Amino acid sequence: MKKLSCREARQIDLVEYLAALGHQPKNIRNQDYWYCSPFRDEKTPSFKVNRARSIWYDFGEGKGGDIIDFGVEYFSCSVSELLEGLSKKSLSLNFSFHSPAFAGEKKEPGYGKIIILKDRALGAPPLVQYLQKRCIPKEIAAQYCREIDFELYGKKFSAIGFANDKGGFELRNEHFKAGSSPKAITFLVQGGKELTVFEGFFDFLSFQTLYKNNPTIPTNILVLNSLSFFHQAKDLMDKHQRVHLYLDRNKQGIEFTRQALLWDEKKYKDLSTSFAQGQDMNDWLIEKSSLVDSGLMTENLRYRHRKGRSI
């Protein structure tokens, strides 16, 4: 069996290859195919394939590339090992081969990376409407977020931006999730000896919404921005007397919470157990918005958070 070259591998239809791995698109817009990321559990598609160009971009991680970049990342293997595997699959599955639309084009340095153009106070109607759909008041989001203009693949977009500790931004609007480089955690010091941990910044904004009329004992805030930073943040978490965990109730979030409880079940407290399977704090906020409006939910949550009990 002849092993494919890199040039030949790049001509494999990326959509067909993903299908062979068990990944189907959730939305198709012209040549753009949107998937839930193959690299993690998620409910909102943030992984895009442009079929004509045979390239992909993961907005949640802020990186992308061609089929070789994908395969090396997906299988944690070398390029040589990937090419050998692709050669076998191409024979058994009869993939379509075509030259990508950008073949022969010279790409500028940094092509495919998010370029931040401008930031300003949050106020664009589409972004405010998106916040409303997620039950986040504009005045709360405006305390922690900016309106960001950025460029990607030569096109300009606007999004709600949440800054991390290294100067990058988590970017969200109704149509996609993105993260500019460098990726990092966001640590907010509020003078507390305790720490409250969230997976994403919409979970944090949801928490602030729940507490808006019921201030509780101040805690410092850690927004991971990606579960990949959880273990890296252990030293920071360990410096606090108690750590309140509000990680998502999916497979990864539950597993990381379990690991933290094994570290020290007296220090680490799982406060996510009221969420349904697959939910995060924002899902829960939306579901319980009528109780939040009445003030009943915030009072109950405030008491249990103070006691460090599961809710």
- Catalogue all structural domains in the chain, each as residue range(s) with its CATH number: 6-93 (3.90.580.10), 115-175 (no CATH), 186-307 (3.40.1360.10)
Residue 16 main-chain phi, psi, to 5 deg:
-65, -40
Q: How many C-beta atoms lie closer than 10 Å to residue 189's C-beta?
A: 8
Q: Is 28 helix (H, G, I), strand (E, B) or coil?
A: strand
- What's the number of CA atoms in the CB half-sphere (13 Å) around residue 305? 24
For the cut 60, the answer to whether the pLDDT of residue 296 exceeds it is: no
For the cut 70, the answer to whether the pLDDT of residue 308 exceeds it is: no
| pLDDT grade for 104, boundaries at 50, 70 and 90 | very low
Question: pLDDT exceeding 70 applies to what percent of the chain?
Answer: 83
- Alpha helices in the chain, H assignment, sequence order: 6-9, 14-20, 67-75, 79-93, 125-133, 138-144, 201-210, 234-238, 251-263, 281-287, 289-294, 296-307
Angle subtended at Cα 36 by Cα 126 and Cα 227, rounded to the nearest 5 degrees: 90
The mean predicted confidence, pLDDT, of the chain is: 83
For the chain, the distance separating the N- and C-terminal CA atoms, rounded to the nearest angstrom, is: 58
For the cut 60, the answer to whether the pLDDT of residue 209 exceeds it is: yes
What does the pLDDT read at residue 215? 60
Q: How long a stretch of residues is the chain? A: 311
Q: How many C-beta atoms lie closer than 10 Å to residue 156's C-beta?
A: 11
Q: How many C-beta atoms lie closer than 10 Å to residue 300's C-beta?
A: 15
pLDDT tens digits along 151-171: 876 778 899 999 999 999 999
**Nearest alpha-carbon partner for 37 in 63, 76, 9:** 63
